[in-house]
């Protein structure tokens, strides 16, 4: 790893301890340790030399109530970029997204399909247009069955910066090849970026998750390091129980066989261009 390399974590979820101020959904998915607040995240990033973080709305805990993300982004402007999630079936979501961008330092939106299962849906399209108008990044969260719809949307919004969350959940096993092929096909859309968070989530083993290195290298080759980003999957005791925060980062700083110039892009430079242009 290059000394003093800029490292940005583009995928962390945060959970408030105060559930009166920030009410949770029925049957929320809880981190086993309970250590997943914005303060806990800050401890993890400082210990690992991470400069900034994209905090992604935790829909498995709060659904579309973005208040904890909004408050955290405002409270920590030096190191957090907030990424909200809004309901594409709610017509008020358009107004909310514009307001979040202007007042709460929200820098992106995680995009999910509408209730009818479609990503290529009028409500989703309207949110993508609002994101474009407000210079936001879209993180699209779908499985491979939505790949044709993702392709159409990317073609219709060529100036919108879009991230493919978890690369449609590439994972070891019988689904590896078809998912990977669809991810690689989408690389022709130059406004799409690959979030390389799938190594520990898709691996059948623990650290260093060697079975997923080959697929990850193929994604990097197809997209180019300048369109690839790393994210921790914090809190790791919930989302990557076999791999710690430090280990997940070490896969990209040491274990994955790529050039240092590629590491610089994947670990920080690409994310800086997308969410943190103000960082020195």
pLDDT digits (tens, 9 = 90+) for 235-269: 999 999 999 999 999 999 999 999 999 999 999 99
Nearest to 201 by CA among 155, 271, 251: 251
Structure tokens at 65: 């109530």
Neighbours of 20 (CB within 10 A): 6
12 class by beta-carbon count within 10 Å (0-12 exposed, 13-18 middle, 19+ buried):
buried
User: Does pLDDT of 159 surpass 80?
Assistant: yes
What would the CATH number be for the domain defined by 8-275?
Answer: 3.20.20.140
pLDDT at 278: 87
Do 169 and 201 form a contact (C-beta atoms < 8 A)?
Answer: yes
Where are the extended beta strands (E) located within the chain?
Answer: 8-12, 52-56, 80-85, 106-111, 137-140, 162-164, 192-195, 228-229
Model confidence pLDDT, tens digit, residues 29-84: 999 999 999 999 999 999 999 999 999 999 999 999 999 999 999 999 999 999 99
Q: Which residue has the tokens 């914005």?
A: 38
The tokens describing 240, both together, are 């990557």
Tens of pLDDT, residues 105-157: 899 999 999 999 999 999 999 999 999 999 999 999 999 999 999 999 999 99
């Amino acid at each position: 790893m290059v000394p003093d390399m800029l490292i940005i974590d583009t995928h962390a979820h945060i959970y408030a301890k105060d559930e009166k101020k920030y009410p949770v959904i029925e049957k929320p998915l809880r981190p086993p340790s309970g250590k997943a607040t914005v303060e806990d995240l800050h401890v993890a990033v400082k210990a690992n030399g991470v400069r900034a973080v994209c905090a992604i709305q935790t829909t498995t805990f709060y659904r579309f109530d973005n208040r904890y993300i909004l408050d955290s982004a405002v409270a920590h402007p030096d190191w957090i970029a907030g990424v909200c999630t809004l309901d594409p079936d709610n017509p008020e979501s358009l107004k909310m997204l514009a307001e979040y961008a202007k007042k709460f330092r929200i820098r992106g939106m995680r995009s999910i399909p509408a209730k009818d299962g479609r990503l290529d849906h009028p409500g989703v399209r309207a949110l993508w247009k609002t994101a474009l108008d407000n210079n936001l990044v879209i993180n699209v969260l779908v499985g491979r069955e939505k790949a044709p719809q993702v392709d159409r949307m990317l073609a219709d919004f060529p100036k919108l910066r879009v991230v493919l969350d978890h690369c449609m959940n590439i994972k070891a096993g019988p689904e590896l090849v078809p998912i990977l092929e669809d991810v690689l096909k989408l690389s022709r859309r130059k406004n799409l970026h690959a979030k390389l968070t799938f190594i520990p989530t898709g691996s059948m083993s623990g650290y260093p998750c060697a079975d997923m290195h080959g697929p990850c290298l193929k994604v990097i080759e197809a997209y180019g390091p300048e369109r690839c980003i790393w994210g921790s999957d914090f809190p790791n005791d919930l989302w990557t129980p076999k791999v710690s925060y430090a280990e997940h980062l070490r896969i990209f700083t040491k274990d994955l066989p790529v050039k240092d110039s590629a590491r610089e892009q994947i670990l920080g430079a690409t994310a800086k261009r997308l969410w943190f242009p103000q960082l020195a």
